[in-house]
């Protein structure tokens, strides 16, 4: 890592603001084209995914899952127990992993590819000039890849209580006795299960899994109920301090009380301090940097990638948009192809998808045909003594091509790579039904479900 910008700096081919997945991909692919590159970072290197997102949350979710499995073993012949949690130790283990990955996957990678990471606050002085801590850092092109952060809802009373975000919750020293989570999206669901598994009494306020298939949302409701999580699918109306804790009142008048409150109602672009207005960069109606299909902003010299650009908030999407932005800033004409895009929510069971939902397919003009396979018909689920789950295939009724695959299953995320390949290759349900699938794997559910498009009669194992 270099020091602060000092004196006269020779113009670079590209300067990237940020060091997360989008920024690192931009730097790597620009260097592969022979361009001179530097990244600018005002905080810890690594962006959202490494520091406060994917890596820390999934580490703590894995720990929470271990305890939950011990408490709810489906095998009575194997005695398991689970005592209180030393959250401080888990948080330290999480922090140690983050530090290790920061060195191995970011700093060492930057050195290997030959670009500097400059510490400091980036700010546009005008459409042509980027300053770092007040000093010009000239470049032929700039890429903004500063990510996103938890959004604060406009909720009466919220400013009167010490509420948590998904970021601050993962640094707690002790597990709260009780917790109310606002928001039923992927962050809220993961955080609710994380703390319930660690021993907190958890309530969740908000529509559960609002963007998933309704059949799979039902699976998540059953899973949350099994873990003892109270789900109130209403909007919050008011937050009120209550002794040493907090209460949340819904629009329908229901009140839930807890020791702590965690707000997970959405994320916003992290653009503070950049002065994008000075650069002539437009912000869209959602508050994200407006870009075209090539990731270019309204300033032809500036590109944006990752969460800040309003792209789907997955680190692999950030990386792909970062690559696209960098190549186009160097003269390319690339666009990101989102066909078959996979997504995984690391709940228990996992909630995963690839491609179109049934509603999306109908809206796009497809004559849909869908099939659902429940956990009781999946051999892997039967052997695991855990049949809570389902897999759904959305297909075009006339061409029989697979449009989408959606699952709420243990290991559902592992199915989505095959699903993405199938959608990308325009495979039909018959192609999938006739292809090899290893027995007693979760991925076999994809082949079995495809077979349901041929008959509604039950089938034997592997038949």
pLDDT per residue as tens digits for the range 90-133: 999 999 999 999 999 999 999 999 999 999 999 999 999 999 99
- The overall average pLDDT reported for the chain is 96
pLDDT of residue 192 exceeding 70, the answer is yes
**What pLDDT is stored for residue 105 in this prediction?**
96
Query: Where exactly are the structural domains of the chain?
Result: 12-150+268-329, 158-265, 342-451
- 2 is written with which tokens? 């270099």
> H helices of 3-76, where?
21-32, 47-51, 54-71
pLDDT of residue 374 exceeding 90, the answer is yes
How many angstroms separate the CA atoms of 158 and 233, rounded? 19
pLDDT band at residue 5 under the 50/70/90 scheme: low
3-state secondary structure of 169: helix
Q: How far is CA 291 from CA 25, 239, 281, 297, 300, in A?
A: 18, 37, 9, 5, 10
Name the CATH code of domain 342-451 (choices 3.30.390.30, 3.40.190.10, 3.30.300.30, 3.20.20.140): 3.30.390.30
**What pLDDT is stored for residue 463 in this prediction?**
75
* Domains 158-265 and 342-451 are alike in CATH topology: no
Mean pLDDT of 290-310: 98
Name the CATH code of domain 12-150+268-329 (choices 3.50.50.60, 3.90.1640.10, 3.40.640.10, 3.30.750.24): 3.50.50.60
**What pLDDT is stored for residue 8 in this prediction?**
46
**What pLDDT is stored for residue 351 in this prediction?**
98
Convert the pLDDT of each residue in 232-281 to its tens digit. 999 999 999 999 999 999 999 999 999 999 999 999 999 999 999 999 99
Mean pLDDT of 351-376: 97
pLDDT band at residue 138 under the 50/70/90 scheme: very high
pLDDT of residue 1 exceeding 60, the answer is no
Q: Tell whether omega for the bond before 349 is within 30 degrees of 0, i.e. cis.
A: yes
Mean pLDDT of 65-91: 95
pLDDT of residue 182 exceeding 50, the answer is yes
Give Cβ neighbours of residue 17 (< 8 Å, ≥ 6 apart): 23, 39, 40, 122, 130, 142, 143, 144, 145, 146, 274
User: Residue 388: CA atoms inside 13 Å, Cβ hemisphere, count?
Assistant: 18
pLDDT of residue 9 exceeding 80, the answer is no
Mean pLDDT of 304-325: 98
158-265: which CATH architecture? 3-Layer(bba) Sandwich (3.50)
**What pLDDT is stored for residue 6 in this prediction?**
61
**What pLDDT is stored for residue 2 in this prediction?**
56
């Amino acid at each position: 890592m270099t020091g602060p910008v000092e004196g006269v700096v020779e113009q670079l081919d590209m300067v990237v603001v940020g060091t997360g997945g989008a920024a690192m991909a931009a730097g790597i692919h620009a260097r592969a084209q022979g361009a001179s590159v530097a990244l600018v970072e005002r905080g810890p290197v690594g962006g959202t995914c490494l520091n406060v997102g994917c890596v820390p949350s999934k580490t703590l979710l894995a720990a929470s899952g271990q305890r939950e499995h011990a408490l709810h073993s489906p095998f009575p012949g194997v005695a398991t127990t689970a005592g209180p949690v030393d959250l401080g130790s888990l948080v330290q283990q999480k922090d140690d992993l983050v530090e290790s990955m920061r060195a191995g996957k970011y700093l060492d990678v930057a050195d290997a590819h030959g670009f500097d990471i400059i510490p400091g606050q980036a700010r546009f002085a005008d459409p042509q000039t980027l300053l770092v801590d007040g000093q010009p850092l000239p470049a032929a092109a700039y890429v903004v890849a500063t990510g996103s952060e938890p959004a604060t809802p406009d909720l009466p009373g919220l400013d009167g209580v010490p509420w948590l975000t998904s970021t601050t919750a993962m640094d707690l020293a002790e597990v709260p006795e009780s917790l109310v989570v606002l928001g039923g999206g992927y962050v809220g669901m993961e955080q609710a299960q994380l703390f319930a598994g660690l021993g907190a009494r958890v309530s969740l306020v908000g529509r559960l899994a609002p963007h998933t298939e309704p059949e799979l949302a039902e699976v998540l409701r059953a899973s949350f109920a099994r873990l003892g999580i109270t789900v109130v699918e209403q909007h919050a109306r008011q937050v009120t301090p209550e002794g040493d804790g907090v209460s949340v009142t819904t629009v329908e008048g229901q009140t839930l009380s807890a020791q702590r409150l965690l707000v997970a109602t959405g994320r916003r672009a992290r653009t503070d301090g950049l002065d994008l207005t000075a650069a002539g960069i437009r912000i869209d109606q959602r508050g994200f940097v407006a870009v075209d299909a090539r990731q270019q902003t309204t300033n032809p010299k500036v590109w944006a990638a990752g969460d800040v650009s309003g792209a789907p908030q997955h680190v692999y999407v950030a990386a792909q948009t970062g690559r696209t932005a960098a190549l186009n800033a160097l003269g390319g004409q690339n666009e990101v192809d989102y066909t078959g895009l996979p997504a995984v929510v690391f709940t228990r069971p996992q909630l995963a998808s690839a491609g179109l939902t049934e509603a999306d397919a109908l809206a796009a003009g497809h004559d849909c045909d869908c099939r659902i396979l429940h956990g009781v018909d999946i051999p892997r689920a039967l052997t695991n003594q855990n049949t809570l789950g389902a897999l759904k295939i959305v297909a075009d009724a006339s061409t029989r091509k697979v449009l989408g695959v959606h699952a709420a299953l243990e290991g559902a995320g592992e199915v989505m790579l095959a699903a993405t390949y199938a959608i990308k290759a325009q495979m039909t349900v018959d192609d999938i039904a006739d292809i090899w699938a290893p027995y007693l794997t979760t991925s076999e559910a994809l082949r079995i479900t495809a077979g349901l498009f041929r008959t509604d009669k039950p089938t034997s194992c592997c038949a």
